[in-house]
Amino acid sequence: MRLLTVFVTSLCVFLGTCSETPPLLEQIKDRGTLRVVTRYSPVTFYQGARGPAGAEYELARGLARELGVKLEMYATDSFIDVLPQVIQGKADFAAAALTVTENRKAQVQFSEPYKITNEHVIYKVGTTRPRKLDDLLTGTLEVLTGSSHVESLEKLRQDAPDLTWIENPDTEVEDLLYRVASGELDYTVADTLEFNVSRNYHPDIRIGMDLDNAHQIAWAFRKNEDRSLLEAANAYLEKIKANGGLARIDERYFGHAHRFDYVGTRSFLRDIERILPSYRFLFEEVAMTHEMDWRLLAAVSYQESHWNPQAVSPTGVRGMMMLTNNTAKQMKVADRLDPHQSILGGAKYLQRVKKKIPERIPEPDRTWLALAAYNVGWGHLEDARIIAEIQGLNPDSWRDVKECLPLLTQKQWYKRVKRGYARGWEPVRYVENIRSYLDILKWKTATSNPRRLGPLEPGDPGYGNNEMVITSP
């Protein structure tokens, strides 16, 4: 065998046909695709009505664009299969909201962290809140196999040797949170972001106690001497941290997740079952005619009237979409209390407002800005955008404009703009409420396929294009 190796090596030198394997980054650019493994969850990646979505998808797509290649992203059937895909070289890296742990660092190398999270024990409101480790001994605790939560529990068991839990390889954190909310399970463990997103769908879940704090979230790469892709990824992450790109992705998917109204969410979930079936066909019919998402119309209507066709405010606005008399006349609505006319008038008016939003502004910011204008008026929205420019912020970003709208209540600011004073905090609350309702509606109307989990953004860039190829591992 040694003689054969020497012969082959000599032959390569003589013929000049053998060369070193090029760096991974060069290989990726040559083949034209970046292959990324992930997992299905509301905080990572999911299939929306019009294509792929999710914070990890947006981040990975940005890196692919930076490298000048297409993104090929796929999800494994089980969370425990994510890292093996990287270790075996089947994926270039993993983008799956992975916590950096000592055990994982022995298997893979991590990028620079792009998020910090905490771990919490989750329980159902109305049951005994777990405040210390001993409280977990009286109920069933179930966690995701292979998750960082297992490592945290193993460390804690050194101080609480009687602590036990079940590890489930055939589930996701979202499923475990659902089981806690339904009373099927006493406790589970979830990261802060997972909890914040899921409690809008499961309003009965609560944080009982903190399990561990300040975990870093990062991408995972194969552990070898070739750091070319890792270094490119780190440079990209640093770039989007500095230019605000990372913050914009967080705002797009999670900007409203921290806001939670227990009573309002419970009422909305009940009304989806009790009231919405009577009017859903109207929302769908109008939305189809005007090429809109019917769930967005339904969310706006719920914010306006709680789907009450007879609703009347002290200021004289009426109906499902709470149209003013002047708006109704402009939209040729003869009877504001007629559900179909009201929904149709509201859809037409929202479209009219949206057409005023500069076309350069991408979705979903374009929709959020249009909703703000629908509520407070186009002029006041423009004033807030001017204030954003004055402050060196981005007037085309909902994340920045929503910080400036409340300034319209302050004399030092509303004196500097054309339309003057406005209760600028109202459109912010208005839009964020609609975003929450929209997320819940999309979750409730999704299929049972886990690929449909998560908050979907209307008209997200990338839907339906060829930048993404989904394959099986």
Instruction: Check: CB of residue 336 under 8 Å from CB of residue 323.
Output: yes
Place of tokens 């394959």: 471
Place of tokens 């807030």: 384
Listed residue (55, 400, 397) closest to 193, CA to CA: 55
Place of tokens 């500095």: 242
- Contacts of residue 345, defined as CB under 8 A and 6 or more positions apart, other chains included, come to 321, 323, 327, 328, 331, 332, 333, 336
What is the length of the chain? 473
If you write DSSP's letter for every residue of 164-197 in order, what string do you get? --EEESS--HHHHHHHHHTTS-SBEEEEHHHHHH
Catalytic residue among 58, 304, 432, 457: 304
User: Is 444 exposed, middle or buried (CB count within 10 Å of its CB: 0-12, 13-18, 19+)?
Assistant: middle
In this structure, what DSSP letter does residue 422 have?
-
Q: How far apart are CA 263 and CA 219, in angstroms?
A: 37
Instruction: Check: CB of residue 301 under 8 Å from CB of residue 272.
Output: no
Active site residue 66: no
Cα–Cα–Cα angle for 217, 223, 224, rounded to 5 degrees: 145
Which two structure tokens, joined as six digits, stand for 328?
Answer: 């109704």
Q: How far apart are CA 91 and CA 107, in angstroms?
A: 15
Instruction: Check: CB of residue 34 under 8 Å from CB of residue 92.
Output: yes
Place of tokens 């008026």: 377
Residue 58 region, left (φ>0) first, then alpha (ψ -120 to 50), else beta? alpha
Which residues does the annotation mark as catalytic?
304
